[in-house]
Amino acid sequence: MTVTLRSLETAVPPTLLIQSEARDVFASQPGLTRLGQRLVRTCFDSAAIDTRHTAVAEMSTGSQSENPVFFDGASGLLLSPSTKVRNDLFTTEATKLFIEAAEKALEACDGVGPGDVTHVITVSCTGFFNPGPDYKVVRALGLNASVQRYHLGFMGCYAAFPALRAAKAFCEADPEAVVLVVTAELCSLHVRTSNNPDTIMGSSLFGDGAAAAVVSARELPSSNPVISLDHFETVLTPVGEDSMAWNIGDEGFEMVLDSYVPRIIDEHIVDALAPLLAHEPAIAALPYGDIRHWAIHPGGRSILDKVEAKLELTAEQLLPARETLRDFGNMSSATVMFVLKHILNQQATAAQESICAMAFGPGLTVETGLFTKLSPGLPTGRNVVELETVGRA
């Protein structure tokens, strides 16, 4: 049985943040020490990000709200709303993104309508409400009231993988299942001014976005490439529990993102990949660079640099991750879905192309997936990994 991701769509809020403008705002806040100011400029300038999106409309340049809550455009001051105020905005704005992404994914899936969906899985770590986003999606899309609903909350940047893994399991248990997976994160709700390096790092990296996918084992028509979900693995690194965390404070959620994280990934990425690639002997025997596509969660530029160097990948293989980071920043769990969308949109060179996907999160947790991009209309044959190897031989 082949379980495939039949459609994948993304959504972002309309307010655009220009990285250089955001840097200047954060660097000009009162209370910053000289070291804090230097850290702001260094983190923002070295992040390899040009733009991000935010659900906080006040954060746009030139915003002139009469009663500002997050940002006073007239004075240039970043404000400190309570966690409740931030979460109330999450309830309103995240719901819009969950629904928009889900609608787009369902509309893009050939042969599937609202009445076909059997399961809904929603994902987020940037807010809470109940009835939750799973309920909102069912109601807004007119899905059957009997649809099974699941919400994965507060897992962090790797959470799209458990969601896709659960979708695969549902489809293997019921070949007629159609699973709608939707992840939405409003990371920008939790930014604040601070001299704390972790807080500054988070403010320079995180943006808002959503993605949705339809997953099924049904034999369905498709005029576009789809992704076979072949195998997943989870690995906990032996160190790093305190290096990446996501805590709830009185003035929003608080990020812990130690500068040691890229080093941890550099030291343990090979061991983290081993269980995944061992599942596919034909691929395990190849150099990493022979795997056609790499869908790496761009947690930051330095993380991508370490992955590229350690696995001896090409700049082209990291392009989907780097361009996602450049245009959208780190959107937590939604980000790797944007990277996969980028890979789906690339011109295929064979009917089957391997994808190795990976995301990192609190723990330090490494989630990995081995997928295959299946492109209709191209000559059938062996996986492109094998073809390239034979060509070199």
Give me the tens of pLDDT residue by residue for the chain, a chain 393 residues long.
Answer: 899 999 999 999 999 999 999 999 999 999 999 999 999 999 999 999 999 999 999 998 777 778 999 999 989 999 999 999 999 999 999 999 999 999 999 999 999 999 999 999 999 999 999 999 999 999 999 999 999 999 999 999 999 999 999 999 999 999 999 999 999 999 999 999 999 998 999 999 999 999 999 999 999 888 899 999 999 999 999 998 888 888 999 999 998 877 778 899 999 999 999 999 998 888 877 889 999 999 999 999 999 999 999 999 999 999 999 999 999 999 999 999 999 999 999 999 899 999 999 999 998 999 999 999 999 877 654 444 444 443 333
This prediction's pTM: 0.94
Q: Please give the distance of CA 144 from its chain centroid, rounded to a whole number.
A: 28
Active-site residue flag, 356: no
**Within the chain, what is the greatest distance between any pair of CA atoms?**
69
Distances (CA, A) of 31 to 36, 193, 237, 260: 9, 9, 37, 27
Burial class (CB in 10 A: 0-12, 13-18, 19+), 305: middle
Q: Is the peptide bond before 364 cis (omega within 30 degrees of 0)?
A: yes
Selected catalytic residue, list 43, 157, 187, 356 = 157
